[in-house]
Structures are given as structure tokens and as C-alpha cells.
Amino acid sequence: MTNSAVTAEGHSAEQTVFGIIMAVSFCHLLNDTMQSLIPALYPMIKEGYGLDFTQIGFLGLVFQVTASLLQPLIGIYTDKRPLPYSLSIGMGFTLIGLVLLAYAHTYWVLLVGAGVVGLGSAVFHPESSRVARLASGGRHGLAQSLFQVGGNFGTAIGPLLAAFIVLPRGQESVAWFSLAALTGIVILWRVGVWYSNHRKASAGRKIASHAVQLPRKKVIQAIAVLAMLVFSKYVYMTSLSSYYTFYMIERFDVSVQQAQILLFVFLGAVAIGTVAGGPIVDWFGTKFVIWFSILGALPFTLALPYADYYWTIVLTFLIGVILASAFSAIVVFAQELVPGRVGMIAGLFFGFAFGIGGIGAAALGMVADRMGIEFVYQICSYLPLLGLLTIFLPDIGKGRRHLAKTSR
């Protein structure tokens, strides 16, 4: 653990800087809106380029794996040498990727564009998550959920924008979203100024250590359990975010535009659950939320493949709300396990989530080609059973409710 990391994190406990948290949350919205255009474009790209599900899955794999491989490395580097202005640079990569996607005329250019967008994500997420924690004033669950919900809203808005802007006007209209990237670059430059000033003000301050001290073996076991929980959440979420439109079109014969709107309903539910999850994490604790958000979705995922049209919408909404808080809780729990390594943990888990999402997209695409899209949802319905692994997590992160009881 570096001195700068410790002092910066400790000093952040003095006050919650909501302006900075909302700034990075808004930029997370812009970032993930642009990124969500990739899966939202799948139906149009599939038809226009004559692709099969495997090729569609590989396109998602390039984007997700590019981000997943680089995020932990960037997080490790910035734990030792923080880069306040790297946030703007990351948004710049996203801008370049959008332009490539807009004007691509061959499949390989689409792959390059998706990879560059993934690079932008790899730079953006670890440092922006660190900034949210620094500005949290000790309310880590709230700050992480507010940061995360920006991404959720962005992911939800993307399919709507694709349905009403990109699909009617064609692939080149993706370039219009470069204006959002330029806006993000300006805002993140100002966030970088705050981050830089915060580090200077925090330099040399001594803080009391409240770090969790656990044996190394137990920490590694807990990280492995958290990784499996991320696996269960993100493979299932990928089945919905990447293939839900195809599922609704094939099973219920809805139009492409209707399917995009239904995808928005699911992604909007994810955003709602994320907002609600932050205060719940801080009050009830991260472990409680992990139990509820993974295992609690199981009855609904099991029912989904057999539901009719209207119940499918209801069930996907409930699944989105319940699963939403899991990732923020997992990240905060891991940061408590490995204090002072905020960037590494954020990069590791964001990167792992992206990688699992990409591998899951490719694997589920191959399953869909061979067995049908409905079979995908039948096998994925059992993934929340992995939530039972939560029993192996150490008894930490109980939240303010527990502290209030013990202080009486």
C-alpha cells in the first residue's frame, strides 16, 4: 500500500463531495451510452453485414476483452502513480472508436472500432471509480452506487437512441455521439483538476487506519468467491443485454424497434436497482446485499423462460432491479478486503466483468446458433445459484445498522 493511496483515501472521509461524484457519474452515463451502442447496433449490423450469432458474439468479445485485460493493469499503475487527467484521455479513445464504428465498411474495421472503445473504457473506469471513493466522505456504498448508476442509465439510454436515431438514419449517425464524448472530455478535465488539487492537499496528512486485517489466504479465497459472483451476474446480464432483443423478436414476433424499447425497460430497471442499492449497502452492509442481489433473483430467472409476453417484461424488470446492486456491493467489499488498492480492485473487477461479459457473449452466441436463443435463457436461469457461495465470504462490511446496534 502506498502512502499517497492511504492518505488520499483517509482524507476523503472528512466530507462527501457530491459535485464530483455526480460529475463522474454523468461522465459514466456518457461513456456507457456510447459503449451500449455496440450491442444496440447488433440487429442492424447482423443484417447489413450478413453476420451469424458467432460473429456478433466475437464483436462483443473484442470490445469486452480489450477493456478487461487493460483495466487491472491501469489500476495497478495508477495506485502507485495517480494520473488525474487520464480520465479525459480515456474519453478521447471512446470518441475515436465511435468514428471508426460509424464509417466502417468491413467487419474487421468494426472489430477495431469496438477494440478502441474498449480501450477508452479501460482507461476511464479504474480512475473514475477511485475519484468517486475519494469524494465519498466514507459513504462508499452510496458513492459507488451513484457512480455506477450513471453507467446503468447510459446503458439503458443507448438502445433507445439506437432505436430512434441510429436505426432510422443508418450506421453513420453513430458519429453524432462524438459530441457526447467531447462533453465528457471537458467535464473530466475539470474533475482531473479537483483530483490533482485533492492529492496535493492530502499529501503528508496522517490518518487513523480502519483497514480490515485478514490472513492472506482468506483474502484470496474471498476475492475468488467475489469473482464467481461477478461471473454469475455478468453472464446472466450479458444474456439479456446482448440477446434479449433477438429473444423477444423470435419468441413473441415483436419488431426491432419494440425489442429495443423492451431492452430499455430492463436496463432502466437495472438503473433503478443501482440507485436503491447504495443506501442499502451503507446501512445493511455489503455482505447482506450480495446475498440478496444474487440469490434473490433465482426464482425469477427460473420462471423467465416459460413466461408469456407480459410476464416476461415483468420478470426481466424484477431481475434487473434485484441484480443491480450486486456489483457495487462486490466492489466495495473487495476494496475493504484490500485497502489502499482502490484502482487495482476497481480495474480488476470492472475488467473481469467486461471480460466475462465478452466471453459470455461469444459463448452464448455459439449456443444460440446451435441450440436456439430460447435454450440460452433456460441454461442461464440457474446461474444465480452461485449466490450460495456468499456463505464463504468473511464476516465484514456490516454497515451502519450493525454499528448503530453495537454502539448502544
- pLDDT per residue over 116-139, tens digit each? 998 998 889 888 888 988 888 777
Q: Which three cell numbers stand for residue 408?
A: 448502544
pLDDT band of 7, cuts 50, 70, 90? very low
Tell me the residue type at 128: S
Instruction: Specify the pLDDT at position 310.
Output: 94
Whether 338 shows a pLDDT value over 50: the answer reads yes
The residues near 242 (Cβ < 8 Å, ≥ 6 apart) are 39, 42, 56, 57, 60, 361, 364, 365
Instruction: Specify the pLDDT at position 45.
Output: 81
Instruction: Specify the pLDDT at position 20.
Output: 92
Instruction: Specify the pLDDT at position 22.
Output: 92
pLDDT band of 182, cuts 50, 70, 90? very high
Tell me the residue type at 369: D
**Domain annotation for the chain: domains and CATH numbers:** 3-201+214-406 (1.20.1250.20)
Angle, helix 286-295 to helix 256-284, in steps of 10 degrees = 150
Whether 81 shows a pLDDT value over 70: the answer reads yes
- For residues 355-368, give the mean pLDDT: 82
Average pLDDT, the chain: 82
Nearest partner of 287 among 247, 333, 344, judged by Cα: 333
Instruction: Specify the pLDDT at position 190.
Output: 93
Whether 67 shows a pLDDT value over 90: the answer reads no
- What is the CA 328 to chain-centroid distance, rounded? 9
Whether 12 shows a pLDDT value over 50: the answer reads no
Within 13 A of 11's CA, how many CA atoms are on the CB side? 18
pTM above 0.85, yes or no: no
Instruction: Specify the pLDDT at position 60.
Output: 76
Give percent of the chain with pLDDT exceeding 90: 26
Whether 406 shows a pLDDT value over 60: the answer reads no
Whether 318 shows a pLDDT value over 80: the answer reads yes
pLDDT band of 212, cuts 50, 70, 90? low
The residues near 171 (Cβ < 8 Å, ≥ 6 apart) are 41, 44, 45, 48, 101, 102, 104
For residue 383, the surrounding DSSP H or E stretch is none
Contact predicate 399/336, CB 8 Å: no
- For residues 269-289, give the mean pLDDT: 80
Whether 13 shows a pLDDT value over 60: the answer reads no
Whether 395 shows a pLDDT value over 50: the answer reads yes
- For residues 365-386, give the mean pLDDT: 92
CA distance 97 to 114: 6
pLDDT band of 155, cuts 50, 70, 90? confident
Give percent of the chain with pLDDT exceeding 70: 90
- For residues 256-278, give the mean pLDDT: 82
Whether 40 shows a pLDDT value over 80: the answer reads no
Q: Say which residue, 347 or 251, is predicted with more confidence.
A: 251
- For residues 263-292, give the mean pLDDT: 82
Instruction: Specify the pLDDT at position 207.
Output: 47
pLDDT band of 351, cuts 50, 70, 90? confident
Q: Which of 3-7, 58-62, 195-199 has the lowest mean pLDDT?
A: 3-7
Whether 90 shows a pLDDT value over 60: the answer reads yes
